[in-house]
Amino acid sequence: MKLFEGLRMKSAVNAQSIIFALIMLGLTLSGGYLYAEDYKGIIKIGGTGSALGPMNEMAHAFQKKHPDVNIIIVPSLGSGGGIKAVTEGAIDIGLSGRPLKTDEAKEGITAFECARTPFVFVTAHKTKGINFTLQDFAKIYAGEIKNWPDGTPIHVVLRPEGDMDSILLKGMSPEMDKTLKKVLAQGNRSENLSGCKRLY
């Protein structure tokens, strides 16, 4: 039985993003894969924040079945941070929202798809019945749509350009790609960013 084999994610898999688990080749026993029944001790897992919730659920279920294994989920490192932490031996399993880059693949780590997660837009605004299109979202990021239908300002959260969320957004449509590249390149000088909040 391979690590986490047989555990099922409760969420839907009609996803836009793919989470890759990165396992250092050194995390093996006798040159083979690590088998749960052979392992006792601590396994540290970290990486993209979007995978930490489901991974916590999986880790909890795994530890119930294998009480000699203590799984520690570290706070979000991002995809790149998770990959780097694996290559440096700081964690055992890294969670990434993207495949390995060529230079990362040369670092002696292996990647495989372990789950898919949905990509959603979330708001705390209480207006009901809003049905934004992808074109509307491009206009929101561009600053062309600045308010909710009731007049309340829309506050957009921006992630770094290389962040997986930004990469996925840019891949949704040519309009979104063009808009995000422009907004992110203009930085704080852009009037478009008046309703945006950066998380970096």
Reported confidence tier of residue 59, pLDDT bands at 50, 70, 90:
confident
Reported confidence tier of residue 38, pLDDT bands at 50, 70, 90:
low
According to DSSP, the β-strands at 156-158 and 196-198 are parallel
Query: Token pair of 69, please?
Result: 């294994």
Q: Which of 104, 95, 121 is nearest to 43 (CA)?
A: 95
pLDDT at 90: 93
Reported confidence tier of residue 161, pLDDT bands at 50, 70, 90:
confident
Q: Which of 142, 116, 136 is nearest to 195 (CA)?
A: 142
Percent of the chain with pLDDT over 70: 72
Coil, strand or helix at 180? helix
pLDDT at 197: 52
pLDDT tens across 62-121, in order? 888 888 889 999 998 988 899 999 999 999 888 888 888 899 988 888 888 877 777 778
Check residues 27 and 101 and name the one with the higher pLDDT. Answer: 101
pLDDT at 160: 78
Q: Report all structural domains of the chain as residue ranges with CATH numbers, in order of start.
A: 17-117 (3.40.190.10), 134-198 (no CATH)
Mean pLDDT score of the chain? 74
DSSP H stretches of helix in the chain: 49-65, 78-87, 102-105, 134-142, 164-170, 174-186
CA separation for the pair 39, 55 (Å, rounded): 19
